[in-house]
Amino acid sequence: MKLTIIKMKTICRTHSLLLSMTLIAVGCASVATAAEHQLVAPGGGVKVIVSDAGGLNYRVEVDGKTVLTNSPLGLEFQDGTKLGPKAVIAGTKTASHDGSWENHFGKRLKVRDHWQELRLTLQEQDRTFGLIVRAYDDGVAFRYDLPVASKLGHFTLTKELTEFRFTEDNRCWFGEESPCAENHYPEAKLSTIPPGKWNTLPLLVETPAAYVAVAEADLLDWAGMFTTGTGSENVGVKLASRNNWHGLVVSDVPRVSPWRVLMIGRTAADLVNSDLIANLATPNRLGDLPWVKPGVCAWDPWWTGVNTNLPQFTGLDARGDTASEKEYIGFAAEMGWQYQLMDWNWYKTDPTVPEPHMNVPEVFAYARERGVRLFVWMHSKDLTAAGFEKVFSTMEKWGAAGVKVDFMNSDSQETVKWYEDVLIAAAKHKLMVDFHGAYKPTGLARTYPNYITQEGVLGNEYNKLDGNRCTLQHTITLPFTRALLGPMDFTPGGFLNRKPADFKMTFPAQVMGTRARQLAMTVIYPSPMLVLCDSPANYRGQPGVEFFRNLPTVWDETVVLNAEVGKSIVIARRSGDRWFLAVMNGEATTTLNVPLNFLDQKQGVLHRFADDPKFSNYQTVLESTADVNAQTVLTLILAPGGGFAGIISNAK
């Protein structure tokens, strides 16, 4: 569609002086006008309107229905400067783009990047700044542009004035406060979102016209964004403070802020299928990286909490040793998995000096003989203290595939910049990076492709922590909240499966829900490096384990067949000529009819992994095969906290 930018109307900004009827008008009062500009997405259904009436603001429409009404825009600085409250639109430029790029680490190989753009030049007193707005068919994004003409020079940002003013007190799912995005996303009303809190992104809102997810993208050397409640349908913004609590962002012009993003889907399925966060990210800065390879990764005894070789260490203190690492490596090789993770407690303070119980040369040699490569855990503070070059050159010498860096627990500007520094330094030594204790994804994995996955999620490890927080409701809400943003190292694959009423925090660790549900998570939850949590002892010979054999972790194509927030989700993903079908539900027994029309008249053989129809034993997996084609409709009956997984092969 042709780019549509419309100057909508003029509005009187200063009214003529009202004179008494008994006075003679001696002149004409000066009149200024307020401009309003409309940007329409390529498909015509999504519109964003930017106005300077009463201060810089925007509103958003979907299919002719207003979903966000006049919402303020602006920034405040330490020197007292405010940009936005009295801004005037002084000029506009437009652009459009329709291209594509290849994402070798996502839900589809070919990603379409199709947008219309409006660049506004804004004048506030003697300062000039900008707002860049983009409209996609699956969302809207805007960012602040601070040129030299803003006269900010070396600046300290102290507040962001952006708001998201919805038209109604809609149902929503907000991220609870967490220093590392390890939180629930409870259902609420907008008016009940806690005020004064740093609520983790995304915020998912169900409006009459569409689902809208508030997020951010292209976060580089800036403070991370959170939402905060106001007691109404309006949602405010808070940014993470700098480490010294003096301001939010310190920088120099010219600068642009990260994108403030509204992901939009008419249905929940549309939203889950979006690539908007990755599309908005800065493209690859590192060039060709043939050594960055996705794959499945075995863990080590830490998650189960049991290592019979070191019985004195259990639960959170559990750790691997030379023998246990070799056991996990051997099983990874049997299953066709590419990686194994050597987790914490293998060193004391310096990640280049192993403890005696871990014979690193022997472990790496054993892995090398079996075609398995290692990821190595380290604390972020220890990495910084020892120095990037020392640690990463040592890892390269040992033959590590990558590092798992943990416990940053911050979205501060300094921490955000530290991520980039780590990724650049690691790339020099051909190391992939898995950040844990991490802030939510913002597209950084596109900018630095060696960022192979990340945590920033309340994952399966919480089954071994007090509080029983990894609930059925939480895990079925994740596809519609945290998983919208990017890679999610949830570490699925627990095989000690329990009904919620029977679940106990014990060692080896248990999980809530059926085994088929844990199988489905490996396809539904995005993670180019997929860490499976359980032990060889709990996997070997068990029903359902064959689903994990040679399991892909990145996809050529994705189809979201059915989705209801917090209730159920059905996804089909293709890798080569195999389709992987995955289904999860919530706390209630669920019957779903699943058409296989994504096969496009092709025929194939479905290998099914289903719940026990009696729902009596959550570790039972019923395996069967059936011929299927594009006309096949599967009727699936899921237990409470159930699932289904299937592989359709020979689809031709």
- Asked whether residue 20 carries a pLDDT value surpassing 50, the answer given is no
- Asked whether residue 520 carries a pLDDT value surpassing 80, the answer given is yes
- Asked whether residue 645 carries a pLDDT value surpassing 80, the answer given is yes
Token pair for residue 251? 């920088």
For residue 650, the model assigns a pLDDT of: 82
Residues 6 or more apart whose Cβ sits within 8 Å of residue 567 = 476, 585, 586, 588, 590
Q: How many Cβ atoms are within 10 Å of 601's Cβ, its own excluded?
A: 8
Q: How many Cβ atoms are within 10 Å of 66's Cβ, its own excluded?
A: 18
Residue 37, beta-bridge partner list = 7, 50
In the structure, what pLDDT confidence band is assigned to residue 602 with cuts at 50, 70 and 90?
Answer: confident
Please choose, from the candidates 206, 46, 58, 233, the residue with its C-alpha nearest in 3D space to the C-alpha of residue 131. 58
Domains detected in the chain: 5-280 (2.70.98.10), 295-554 (3.20.20.70)
For residue 601, the model assigns a pLDDT of: 75
- Asked whether residue 260 carries a pLDDT value surpassing 60, the answer given is yes
Residue 473, beta-bridge partner list = none
For residue 27, the model assigns a pLDDT of: 27
In the structure, what pLDDT confidence band is assigned to residue 652 with cuts at 50, 70 and 90?
Answer: low
What DSSP letter does each residue of 285-325 carry, written as one string? SS---TT---EEEE--TTTTT--TTSTT--GGG----HHHH
Radius of gyration of the chain (CA): 26
Rounded alpha-carbon distances, angstroms, from residue 609 to 131, 546, 581, 624, 643? 51, 10, 10, 7, 9
In the structure, what pLDDT confidence band is assigned to residue 553 with cuts at 50, 70 and 90?
Answer: very high
For residue 185, the model assigns a pLDDT of: 98
Q: Say if residues 533 and 491 touch (Cβ distance below 8 Å).
A: yes
- Asked whether residue 19 carries a pLDDT value surpassing 60, the answer given is no
pLDDT digits (tens, 9 = 90+) for 478-498: 999 999 999 999 999 999 999
Q: Residue 32, class by beta-carbon neighbours within 10 Å (0-12 exposed, 13-18 middle, 19+ buried)?
A: exposed
Please choose, from the candidates 157, 155, 150, the residue with its C-alpha nearest in 3D space to the C-alpha of residue 131. 150
- Asked whether residue 270 carries a pLDDT value surpassing 60, the answer given is yes
For residue 600, the model assigns a pLDDT of: 83
Query: pTM of the full predicted structure?
Result: 0.94
Rounded alpha-carbon distances, angstroms, from residue 60 to 50, 71, 123, 177? 9, 9, 23, 27
Residues 6 or more apart whose Cβ sits within 8 Å of residue 121 = 89, 90, 91, 92, 93, 128, 130
Q: Are strands 339-342 and 295-298 parallel, antiparallel or unpaired?
A: parallel
Rounded to an integer, what distance in angstroms lies between the CA atom of residue 260 and that of residue 464? Answer: 36
Token pair for residue 150? 């803003």
For residue 57, the model assigns a pLDDT of: 98
pLDDT digits (tens, 9 = 90+) for 25-59: 222 222 346 799 999 999 999 999 999 999 999 99
Q: Are strands 432-435 and 451-454 parallel, antiparallel or unpaired?
A: parallel
Please choose, from the candidates 162, 197, 142, 58, the residue with its C-alpha nearest in 3D space to the C-alpha of residue 188. 197
Mean pLDDT of 562-580: 97
Residue 146, beta-bridge partner list = 255
Rounded to an integer, what distance in angstroms lies between the CA atom of residue 429 and that of residue 40? Answer: 45
Please choose, from the candidates 549, 545, 525, 421, the residue with its C-alpha nearest in 3D space to the C-alpha of residue 477. 525
Rounded to an integer, what distance in angstroms lies between the CA atom of residue 408 and that of residue 403? Answer: 14
pLDDT digits (tens, 9 = 90+) for 314-361: 999 999 999 999 999 999 999 999 999 999 999 999 999 999 999 999
pLDDT digits (tens, 9 = 90+) for 381-409: 999 999 999 999 999 999 999 999 999 99
Please choose, from the candidates 251, 237, 178, 249, the residue with its C-alpha nearest in 3D space to the C-alpha of residue 412. 249
| Cis amide prior to 526 (ω within 30 degrees) | no
In the structure, what pLDDT confidence band is assigned to residue 651 with cuts at 50, 70 and 90?
Answer: low
Average pLDDT over the chain, rounded to an integer: 94
The label of the residue with tokens 């939203």 reads 271
What DSSP letter does each residue of 503-533 carry, written as one string? ----SSPPEES-HHHHHHHHHHS--SEEEE-
- Asked whether residue 8 carries a pLDDT value surpassing 50, the answer given is no
pLDDT digits (tens, 9 = 90+) for 152-172: 999 999 999 999 999 999 999
pLDDT digits (tens, 9 = 90+) for 78-113: 999 999 999 999 999 999 999 999 999 999 999 999
In the structure, what pLDDT confidence band is assigned to residue 18 with cuts at 50, 70 and 90?
Answer: very low
pLDDT digits (tens, 9 = 90+) for 134-156: 999 999 999 999 999 999 999 99
Helix (H) or strand (E) holding 129: strand 127-136
- Asked whether residue 14 carries a pLDDT value surpassing 80, the answer given is no
Residue bearing the bigger pLDDT, 228 or 12:
228
Report the percent of the chain where pLDDT is more than 70: 95
Token pair for residue 647? 């592989």
